Chain A
Amino acid sequence: MRVGALAVGRSGDKGSVLDLTLVARDEAAYARLARAITAEVAQRALEGVCPGTVIRYECPGLLALKFVVAGALPGGVYASLRAGMHWQKAAIWALLDLEIE
């Protein structure tokens, strides 16, 4: 199943850090997401998109998972060579479009 059918998501930044959030639609979806999207899985999903190592934080009380990537935006958003500004706001689709068990 597509992650985006189980959760909503948003991505942002602070300095050179990429910050991704998934919020599950219910408890069953949270359990499924927490099982499937390990830090390693998220890391693979972001391969080629940005550098850096993924750290995962669990928020069972909020039915949410966070994935934080230090150094993903070297020099911050304004130093980026991508087309236009703020590519990181679309980065959550790297996770929303994953297919999981």
Chain B
Amino acid sequence: MSAPLLRFAHVTYRHAGALAATLVDVTLEVSPGEVVALAGAPGAGATTFLLVAGGFAPRLIGGTLEGTLHSAVAWPGIVFAAPWTQLTGLCQTVLAEVAFGPAGLGLPRAAVRAAAEHALERLGVLHLAPRDPATLSGGELQRVIVAAVLAQEPDLLLLDDPAAELDPAGADALYALLPDVAAAGAAVLVATPDTERAARVATRAVRLDGGRVVADGAPAAVLTDTPAARIARAAGCPAPLPLDADALVARVAR
């Protein structure tokens, strides 16, 4: 087991001006090679967890952090749900957009171009390279943004509901990529309501509730640890278990 990339010890984070803490007494470690799925109801603190893990909070967005956070992260990459806000606004082509990160490393032009093209190819959108990012659909753009983040080879990849704009095939392809990223030595943290896809690729899952870690362990156990799943499990339903009330009702109706 390699040394942890991130070590949270009793970390509590409060957004600037907020009365209540968004993360409360979080203690956990994340190591290179892990794909950690973060689950929880909206407002549970998963997005904030990503921002703190990546060193964006409180550095860029303010707020107060208590406890100890040891980070060996050299280069975090983050992808949000809405791709439009993640464009640099400075690039006229998809290739230039994806090359933005590698271009900051001062590499030779050919190396920058190769890194961008390789990342686009990994996401299956190399054919979009000459297009203007402003003309892409939401799904295309989200894949371009993921490619842009991967192009600079982050050692910590943070994904906040990354498949929100993707069709099912695109979402499958994106999630299928995560083990490869982790195998290359990065740690991947993905906050998502899509527990089914997350369970397929995660090596570990963490459930947050009210900013606290309430479960941390094997994805199959943690991601299906919802009240609806517990009822279904108790009733002897076979896997995959329904995770919310609607799915439970549908399953019972069958």
**Do the two chains bind?**
no
Q: B: which residues have CB within 8 A of A? A: none
Q: A: which residues have CB within 8 A of B? A: none
